[in-house]
Structures are given as structure tokens and as C-alpha cells.
Structure 1
């Protein structure tokens, strides 16, 4: 049985090395929520992981066909976290920027000047995404648990 687990881990390592965007290709979701000022859990710092987000009212991990997620801040002039009028929204974008570059910048959105970030990958509009090595470690640990279970 250990040979099967070792073979499975070797195969997953091969996939992660040979297919660089494997995790992003398989998982394409974005957080969807909106908070204004101190109200809600959508604002930064975004302290929810997927498990907590599923239990939180008003926060969803939505499938995203384009794979491009966004987060924007609107309202106020300084975009400070403690400013009451600032709203934070996270969403799936129908399409990414024309140059396909992840970035944050001031843009005009629905006739308002907002600070927006564009990112590509699973739940990327929250915290930094899980590194492939960490993903591999979790899968190998699960396989080992199943094999010895």
C-alpha cells in the first residue's frame, strides 16, 4: 500500500511541475461579497477562508468562467480602511484586463473612480493563493491517511 501512496505522490509532483497552472485550471472561483465601512466581512483584511466563507452570510465562493477575480474600493477620497464611506466589493469578472496582467490601479467603474485589483486564479481576490507545494503536501498527506486508515 505504501508503494501506491508513493506512486500517487510522484505522479502529483510530476503534474505540478509539468502543468504549471494545474490548480488554477481545475479551480476557478472568486469570492463575491460587499461591505461598507466597518460593516460586513468583505473588507480588508479579508479574514475568511473557504470554510468560514461558506458559513458567513453575504459571502460566497462563486464559480467564475473567466478565471478573473476582482476587488475594488469605492467612496471617499483617501480609500483608508477606517473611513466610513468606503465600500469593498469582491467579484468574478466577465473578462480580465485587455493586457492579461494582474494588477491594482485606479479605474472608472459605473461612472465612479474606484481602486480595483484584478487577479487570475482560484479565490485569488482574498489572501495570496496556496502555493503548489502546499497543495501537493495536503494531497500526499490525505493519500497517506487513506492508505493507513
Structure 2
């Protein structure tokens, strides 16, 4: 295989990876207390979340994921068993398109909520370095071929 064919193959793989990355996914789960499977920090490998009951990877058309933690203000009711963590796909992005975490009101309760934009970004670990590593590999390969 000549150098141009290798370069074309690497470029094709990079483009294919980026096209596949356009479909963003979010984790969807809810649990309460320290022993819950949806807790914070997320206790599972984000590449194999479906191995745990109650954790789902869902396609997210908006590309925006959310993480909501209720019961973190210290004002627990008598029937609370600890902080509840919920991860979800947001139907639409925040008005300012900014990723952030802050206290807000949700269903008449004060909750801590995070908004993020990216594939499986509402887990504890972001996997955003993969395209950068692939791009660097491509640049080094081109540099060595030329």
C-alpha cells in the first residue's frame, strides 16, 4: 500500500469518526442515596453503562444533557433518603447555550442542575480528547510521509 492510500484511509477514518460523533447521546437514570447506580460521581465506566440495571444511553437530538441533584441544600424532608440524582437528555438547550452548573428551581424545589453539550457529557468523565488524539496522529503521520 503506498503512502497516499494510507493517508486517504486515515483521513476517511477521521471523517467517519466525526460524522458518527454528530449523533449525541446522554445517560438517563435516577437514583437516591449513596448506594444508587446513578449517583454523583457516576460509579460506572461510561462506555459500558448499560451493564447496570436502570442506566440507559439515549439518543439526544438537542445534543444537551443534564444532571439534576435534589436534596443537596440540607433541608431534607422526613421521607427523604438522601440526595436524588437524575441524568437526562434536555429537550432544548439553555437560552444562552452555556454549559454550567447552578442552583435553580425545578418542580417547585431548589435543586442543583448542570447543563452540558456533548456525547455522554452528563457522566463523570468526558471523552472529548479522542478527536484531538486522532487529529494529532494524522498530523504526525502526514509529517512523516512527506
Whether contact under 8 Å (1:50, 1:61) holds in the other structure is: no
- Aligned partner of 2:7 in structure 1 is 6
Which aligned pairs between 1:85-124 and structure 2 lie closer than 5 A? 85-124=82-121
Matched, 1:35 2:36: no
SS of equivalent to 2:115: strand
Separation in 1 of the partners of 2:104 and 2:19?
A: 29
| TM-score, structure 2 normalization | 0.74
Shift in Å, 1:45: 1.5
Q: Give RMSD over aligned pairs.
A: 2.9
SS of equivalent to 1:7: helix
**What stretches of structure 1 of length at least 5 have no aligned partner?**
17-21, 141-149
**What stretches of structure 2 of length at least 5 have no aligned partner?**
139-146
Query: Which structure is higher in helix share?
Result: 1
Which aligned pairs between 1:138-149 and structure 2 lie closer than 5 A? none
Whether contact under 8 Å (1:53, 1:61) holds in the other structure is: yes
- Aligned partner of 1:130 in structure 2 is 128
- Counting matched residue pairs gives 129
Whether contact under 8 Å (1:107, 1:114) holds in the other structure is: yes
Q: Which has the larger radius of gyration?
A: 2
Separation in 2 of the partners of 1:24 and 1:109?
A: 33
SS of equivalent to 1:26: coil
